[in-house]
Amino acid sequence: MKNQYWFYPEIFNTKLTQTDAFDNPASKVVCVGRNYVEHTKELNNPVPSSPLLFMKPSTSLIAMTPQFNLPDDGRAYHYELEVALLIGKKLNHAEEKFTLDAVAGVGLALDLTIRELQGQLKSDGHPWEKAKAFDGACPVTEFLPVNLIDDLNGIEFSLHKNNQQVQAGNTRNMIFKMDYLLSEISRNFTLLPGDIVLTGTPEGVGRLRSSDVLQLSLNQQRWQSTVI
């Protein structure tokens, strides 16, 4: 019996005709910061020499449904579109050559960020969780079965806001590739089945507002959601 307090990722069947809840809930979301060069430049950050890792709790996860809520507290919430990996097998101190076999699905997520607060926390030398790990900070789509993805290091993805393209990327342009990322993450935090890894955002991040209509694409798959 599934626990109502846990987030169970949804994964399509191989014909993409329906989705089912994954067997295991997400215990955490592991995020990779500054993994696209142009994004590091747009926020005036240095290009990292090793993966910059942080986490969001399971309570940050919400489904990317046709509508989702932003907190109504007057603060500016920014979108960061990212390719999300659904973990299907435990990874702990895994070698690169074995890591991709642990991926069960691929989807998209928004790493929602309170940008002004993040800047203040960075300036003070404090962790980012208050700006990135709040409830609802990680809307995530359903996942495509990984066997429907020809090349994890060649995924095209994009975000349109109100019919204007604001972000577009290809995972071949990541600074740190998928197999290396998963190996590095597993050396620091054990990844469990159901966990989700966000692999970084390309340039074009910006503010979300109520009534914004978002169109997300991953290769040929499309989703639409309205901010309320």
Q: Answer whether residue 185 is part of any domain.
A: yes
Q: How far apart are CA 121 and CA 104, in angstroms?
A: 35
pLDDT tens digits, residue range 125-142? 999 999 999 999 999 999
Q: What is the mean pLDDT of residues 70-92?
A: 96
Alpha helices in the chain (DSSP H): 37-42, 96-99, 115-123, 129-132, 178-188
Residue 25 lies in a domain: no
Nearest alpha carbon to residue 90 among 217, 219, 186: 186
Does 7 map to a domain? Answer: no
- Report yes or no on 182 lying in a domain: yes
* 160-204 confidence digits (pLDDT tens): 999 999 999 999 999 999 999 999 999 999 999 999 999 999 999
Domain annotation covers residue 15: no
3-state secondary structure of 111: coil
Residue 78 in any domain: the answer is yes
Residue 18 lies in a domain: no
Q: How do residues 19-52 score in pLDDT, each as one tens digit?
A: 999 999 999 999 999 999 888 788 788 889 999 9
Structural domains in the chain (count)? 1
What confidence tier does 59 reach under pLDDT thresholds 50, 70, 90? Answer: very high
- DSSP assignment letter at 141: -
CATH of the domain at 127: 3.90.850.10
Q: Is the dihedral of CA 94, 90, 219, 138 positive or negative?
A: negative
| Domain span at 123 | 30-227
For residue 133, is it within any domain?
yes
Average pLDDT value for the chain: 96
Dist CA 116 CA 43 (whole Å): 12
Q: How confident is the model at residue 216 (pLDDT cuts 50, 70, 90)?
A: very high
